[in-house]
């Protein structure tokens, strides 16, 4: 009986844990056009609002996200890539993984993200 109560208490604590998207994420988009298949997404939170920037592998240029939102474990924002409006929607699977898609005029591109480890000094 004690074991069952302990398991219930632990699952209730886990269910109440809020996921936090803030950090640096490495993404893969294997079906994206060449040059846009991987990179990083930095998600931040300051002054009571979320921010996002995306950088593609091989480029130091960071593209800022607009209309960044985080609701019900889902991050969404818009970036403009080469004059094209791209809507990104990501669902947190857990504290270290997200999945979603990037939608633009040619269709949907699946995305997978893994949180990058922070360096401890």
Q: What pLDDT does residue 119 have?
A: 61
Distance CA 121, CA 108 (A): 40
Please identify which residue in the block is written with the tokens 């504290």: 95
For residue 48, CA distances in Å to 17, 22, 30, 89 come to 20, 13, 34, 20
Half-sphere CA count of 55, side-chain side, radius 13 A: 12
Q: What pLDDT does residue 93 have?
A: 93
In the numeric block, which tokens belong to residue 76?
């969404």
Q: What pLDDT does residue 120 have?
A: 57
pLDDT in tens, the chain (121 residues): 433 344 444 444 445 557 899 999 999 999 999 999 999 999 999 999 999 999 999 998 999 999 999 999 999 999 999 999 999 999 999 999 999 999 999 999 999 999 998 665 5
- β-pair partners for 112: 28, 99
Q: Are 69 and 76 in contact (CB under 8 A)?
A: yes
Q: What pLDDT does residue 12 have?
A: 43
In the numeric block, which tokens belong to residue 38?
């991987």
Q: What pLDDT does residue 117 have?
A: 80
Half-sphere CA count of 33, side-chain side, radius 13 A: 8
pTM beyond cutoff 0.85: no
């Amino acid at each position: 009986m004690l074991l069952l109560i302990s398991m219930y208490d632990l699952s209730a604590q886990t269910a109440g844990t809020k996921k936090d998207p803030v950090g640096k994420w490495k993404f893969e988009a294997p079906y994206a056009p060449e040059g846009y298949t991987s990179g990083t997404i930095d998600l931040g939170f300051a002054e009571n609002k979320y921010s996002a920037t995306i950088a593609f592998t091989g480029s130091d240029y960071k593209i800022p996200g607009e209309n960044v939102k985080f609701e019900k474990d889902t991050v969404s924002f818009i970036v403009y890539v080469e004059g094209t409006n791209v809507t990104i929607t990501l669902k947190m699977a857990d504290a270290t993984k997200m999945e979603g898609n990037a939608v633009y005029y040619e269709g949907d591109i699946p995305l997978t993200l893994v949180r990058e480890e922070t360096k401890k000094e």
